[in-house]
Structure 1
């Protein structure tokens, strides 16, 4: 298993699949951009002209001309290949991301009131979860998305909270969808609430079509559904937030 690091994210790719992918793309690896080949082609053309117009001895002009022709032909072939195939580093990056065996990259937001934490009910899973959002590749973008999600989804102005990154954990769980163990990457943020919304002051409340509640970690781990689905995340929050 090869772990390929990317900005703020770790991809887990099976080494056999990576080897196969690199073999598929081996003819493109090493070719630079179209612009670079284009510039080299023009330079090679002018080098050919210089070789035969600079008044050099015939043997030197022939040698220089031969080298210039080879450079020009190489640049021309490279330009044709890169132009026809249109393959670049961004496409290879996307293909590697598609090979990632990580089931989910998720950012968790821990919001506490004393020893109680804010949860919302996910109807699809039939389980109460911490506020969460898919993790973006870039940390700045991730914090922006989390702030938008928390403000819009839980009806709290952005000026009334700050997000602090606490820790990252990787957990391996059995995926019923794929019928194999899959890796889950979690990034934990703690929200420091400067002013709690009035609606949040109830033990249970409803905001933006979400049914929310406050629970302690012990209460969560005593709940059979939460314990079965989200035991590892509850433990992470309990230990770090």
Structure 2
């Protein structure tokens, strides 16, 4: 997964966490404490001269105390590499990773009405990082969500594009990653043969690319995806 992080925000976050970074893992410090204890015992029982033995004990004690302090810090703050990674992921400026399914009937494409956005979209689903898993999820999504048996279509990956556009939620430009698939329909469901139809609580319709671009709502909210379909198919 590619992360897009603003360098200034990354610098600020690392500065905020600088006191937590560099203490290593809890297990490593616990081992260091045990080793320090044995080091002290070795220093006390060594046959070296008196002053050499004192120096050895002092050094061993300092090392052990540092290990104990490190254990306290790592356990009390509970901060590790996984925590830092999750914070870096949270800084990612990629707004959405979506897989788009283009289904055509001649020069018309299947759309469904998204009530939350009040806009007609191509069938889409969040993209999984693994391609095979993503294909399985998309196949199940299209079959279950649009009432078509999995044996009646095949999905083919067409392209991957990154688009930068303004996010109304974050009030800044964000990146959108789209993976385009084309569905080859082997047998079209009877319901799909109408210009408009209803399946699985979805209102669906067929539109040409020109009709989509003439629609002001689609043009405002989804013109980049429509353009990708027009270029790639």
TM superposition score category, shorter chain reference = 0.7 to 0.9
Partner of residue 3, structure 1: none
SS of the aligned residue for 1:172 comes to strand
Aligned residues: 232
Q: Could you say which structure has the larger radius of gyration?
A: 2
1:45 aligns with 2:37: yes
1:57 and 2:35 aligned = no
Give, in whole Å, the separation in 2 of the partners of 1:103 and 1:27: 30
Matches of 2:170 and 2:64 in 1, distance apart?
51
State the secondary structure of the residue aligned to 2:3. strand
Q: Does 1:72 align with 2:49?
A: no
* Counterpart-to-counterpart distance in 1, 2:91 and 2:72: 29
Unaligned stretches of 5+ in structure 1?
1-7
Deviations 1:56-112 (A, max 9, x none): 423665555444333322221111111001112232223223333333332212223
TM-score (norm: length of structure 2): 0.83
Which residue of 2 is the match for residue 99 of structure 1? 91
The RMSD of aligned alpha carbons is 2.7
SS at match of 1:239: helix
Q: Which runs of 5 or more structure 2 residues have no equivalent in the other structure? A: none
TM-score (norm 1): 0.80
Distance 1:107 1:60, change over 3 A: farther
Shift of 1:21: 0.9
Moved more, 167-176 or 188-197: 188-197
